[in-house]
């Protein structure tokens, strides 16, 4: 009862509240329109206006703007917004965020973290075929170098193995006999491009998010 009275008083003392809601809805409509046109930088600018009106951002909207940041290669802000959603009660949205975080980890050359995120994405949503494909792909071509050298190797060979483990560069882990490092890099680029083709297909509604991913 007291909570209800508090909200009534709050609305009476803050007449701009309803104006803000109307402004926010107008901005969200503009955001969706430019996003569907692929005008990602413009969509990000509109999102920043929405934040100025109301700091409480809906998960669907935050997921969309994370995709927009990803599309313009602003990986820092993409990661920040995806991280907001990785523990979301909506498992489908959380799974999407974790899958995208896995892609970002791959782009930084951290294949171990990427595998962990892809696996976590599948745990959140067992039907997430994107995360399953990504996990299986990287599992085939990623071979962590944690095994000690065989006894027959000489000291020089052992030192070379230890040195190679000190600092792994982007995708240096891809040492499969079947897939070269160059091929792995191309797969990573193709993976990113394929993600972008389907990221922005349905906006700001739980039903659309569930359907389009």
Distance between CA 106 and CA 108 in Å, rounded? Answer: 5
Domain boundaries, the chain: 88-212
Banded pLDDT at 56 (limits 50, 70, 90) = confident
Who's near 45: CB < 8 A, 6+ residues apart? none
Give residue 176's pLDDT. Answer: 44
Residue of higher predicted confidence among 1 and 183: 183
125-145 burial: b if 16+ Cβ within 10 Å, else e: beebebbbebbebbeebbeee
Give the confidence band of 99 by pLDDT, cuts at 50, 70, 90: very high
What average pLDDT score do residues 129-153 get?
Answer: 75
What's the CA gap between 152 and 164, in Å, rounded? 19
Q: What value does the mean pLDDT of the chain take?
A: 75
Task: Provide the pLDDT for residue 101.
Answer: 97
Give the residue with greater pLDDT, 157 vs 6: 157
């Amino acid at each position: 009862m007291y909570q209800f009275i508090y909200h009534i008083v709050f609305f009476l003392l803050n007449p701009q509240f309803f104006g803000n809601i109307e402004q926010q809805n107008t901005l969200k409509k503009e955001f969706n329109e430019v996003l569907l046109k692929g005008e990602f930088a413009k969509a990000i600018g509109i999102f920043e206006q929405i934040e100025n009106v109301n700091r409480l951002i809906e998960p669907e909207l935050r997921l969309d703007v994370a995709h927009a940041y990803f599309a313009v290669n602003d990986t820092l802000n993409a990661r920040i917004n995806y991280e907001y959603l990785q523990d979301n009660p909506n498992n489908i949205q959380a799974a999407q965020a974790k899958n995208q975080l896995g892609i970002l980890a791959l782009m930084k050359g951290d294949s171990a973290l990427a595998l962990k995120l892809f696996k976590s994405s599948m745990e959140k949503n067992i039907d997430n075929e994107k995360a399953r494909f990504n996990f299986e792909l990287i599992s085939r071509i990623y071979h962590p170098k944690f095994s000690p050298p065989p006894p027959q190797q000489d000291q020089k060979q052992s030192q070379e193995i230890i040195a190679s483990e000190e600092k792994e560069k982007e995708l240096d882990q891809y040492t499969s006999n079947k897939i070269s490092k160059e091929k792995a890099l191309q797969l990573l680029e193709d993976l990113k491009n394929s993600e972008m083709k389907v990221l922005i297909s349905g906006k700001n509604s739980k039903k659309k998010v569930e359907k389009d991913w």
